[in-house]
């Protein structure tokens, strides 16, 4: 989350009133993340304090946004702990603030588990499998906009900012991922709507209970295995080195598999998808770091973290 666009209190108050969400009492810009403008909004409704998140979309278009918002609404209706976008009187989930598309969702309870245990990882595995299965009948379709095509387009833009060793790694890994994507095993991977950004800071816990997962604005239709690999690359590694944590990974994979067992093609391609997940976030963080946008509040992520993860995944493949 970040703040690129300043939102006047009166405008936010008017939106909450139109949505029947109560009277705005406080509005605070949120630091963290890099894609959209986010505010925490506190309102009074029926004598109670209610917390919301107001998001202004800085890059995603009006044509792209219904997929994300309807997916969250779909998952919420299936009983999953995800943000539930607020509808106006006409049933619209997408609104406008400061001339930009915007949405308001309920703020989920809990805190992120930034030093996750095996129990946290198991809860994430269960939740991720439930999300995949619940989205099977979701009627909208939109590709993962940060998938392989985007990697191929963006790599030449960030390559001038790399040293020789980094450029070699980027070129070789892109070639490998294009080769994998052209194969029959990849074509056989089960697919559907995925979160595609299920990091530690996008999941909330209250004690040992998983209470929420948010930030669906990188979601899209992709292989479920890629989504699983993205989660493993954050929840089940040592942050300092990027090294694989086998115990946490086993907990996450076992819990996921208890809800949705992995297919043969998925078991075969897990090492490749772990590399793909690391490459995706290395490229995007290079892009954000070297080509930043102006923002009132912005904290960019360190791109070298996912370079380390990628090198670990190449040198030490994980097998099932």
Say whether both 93 and 135 belong to one domain: no
Q: Is residue 281 over pLDDT 50?
A: yes
Q: How far apart are CA 33 and CA 297, in angstroms?
A: 10
Is position 66 within any domain? yes
DSSP string, 97-118: ETTEEEEEEEPPPSB--SS--H
Q: Name the CA dihedral angle for 161, 167, 171, 176, rounded to a multiple of 10 degrees.
A: -120
Which of 56, 85, 106 is at the close of a domain? 106
Judged by DSSP in three states, 93 sits in: coil
Query: At how many degrees (to 10) do helices 118-134 and 224-235 cross?
Result: 160
116-148 per-position pLDDT tens digit: 999 999 999 999 999 999 999 999 999 999 999
Structure letter (DSSP) for residue 291: S
Say whether both 28 and 133 belong to one domain: no
Say whether both 32 and 163 belong to one domain: no
Say whether both 19 and 124 belong to one domain: no
Say whether both 184 and 123 belong to one domain: yes
Say whether both 203 and 306 belong to one domain: yes
**Domain containing 39 — which CATH number?**
3.30.200.20
Q: How far apart are CA 96 and CA 274, in angstroms?
A: 38
Say whether both 97 and 196 belong to one domain: no
Which of 60, 83, 106 is at the close of a domain? 106
Say whether both 122 and 101 belong to one domain: no
Say whether both 46 and 133 belong to one domain: no
Provide the number of structural domains found in the chain.
2
Q: The pTM is what?
A: 0.94
Say whether both 256 and 292 belong to one domain: yes
Q: Is residue 33 over pLDDT 80?
A: no
Which pLDDT score, from 0 to 100, does residue 106 have? Answer: 97
Is position 112 within any domain? no
Which of 84, 106, 128 is at the close of a domain? 106
| Mean pLDDT in residue range 143-156 | 98
Say whether both 32 and 179 belong to one domain: no
Is position 320 within any domain? no
Which pLDDT score, from 0 to 100, does residue 320 have? Answer: 82
201-222 per-position pLDDT tens digit: 999 999 889 999 999 999 999 9
Q: Is residue 16 over pLDDT 90?
A: yes
Say whether both 239 and 286 belong to one domain: yes
227-272 per-position pLDDT tens digit: 999 999 999 999 999 999 999 999 999 999 999 999 999 999 999 9
How much of the chain exceeds pLDDT 90, in percent? 91
Domain span at residue 30 reads 9-106
């Amino acid at each position: 989350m970040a703040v690129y666009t300043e939102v006047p209190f009166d405008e936010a108050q008017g939106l909450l009133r139109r949505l029947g969400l109560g009277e705005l009492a406080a509005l605070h810009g949120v630091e963290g993340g890099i894609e959209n403008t986010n505010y925490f909004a506190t309102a009074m409704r029926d004598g109670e304090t209610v917390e919301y998140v107001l998001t202004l979309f800085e890059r995603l278009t009006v044509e792209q946004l219904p997929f994300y918002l309807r997916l969250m609404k779909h998952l919420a209706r299936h009983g999953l702990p995800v943000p539930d976008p607020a509808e106006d009187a006409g049933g619209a989930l997408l609104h406008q603030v400061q001339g930009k598309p915007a949405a308001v969702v309920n703020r989920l309870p809990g805190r992120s588990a930034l030093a996750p245990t095996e129990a946290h990882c198991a809860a994430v595995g269960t939740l991720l499998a439930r999300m995949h299965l619940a989205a099977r009948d979701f009627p909208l379709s939109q590709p993962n906009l940060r998938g392989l095509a985007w990697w191929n387009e963006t790599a030449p833009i960030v390559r001038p900012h790399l040293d020789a060793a980094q450029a070699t790694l980027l070129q070789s890994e892109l070639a490998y991922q294009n080769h994998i994507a052209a194969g029959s095993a990849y074509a056989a991977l089960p697919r559907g709507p995925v979160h595609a950004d299920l990091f530690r800071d996008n999941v909330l816990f209250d004690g040992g209970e998983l209470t929420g997962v948010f930030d669906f604005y990188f979601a899209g239709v992709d292989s479920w295995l890629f989504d699983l690999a993205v989660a493993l690359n954050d929840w089940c590694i040592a942050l300092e080195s990027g090294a694989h944590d086998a115990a946490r990974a086993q907990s996450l994979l076992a819990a996921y598999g208890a809800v949705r067992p992995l297919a043969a093609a998925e078991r075969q391609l897990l090492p490749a998808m772990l590399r793909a997940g690391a490459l995706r976030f290395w490229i995007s963080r290079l892009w954000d770091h070297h080509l930043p946008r102006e923002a009132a509040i912005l904290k960019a992520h360190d791109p070298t973290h996912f370079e380390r993860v990628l090198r670990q995944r190449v040198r030490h493949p994980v097998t099932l």
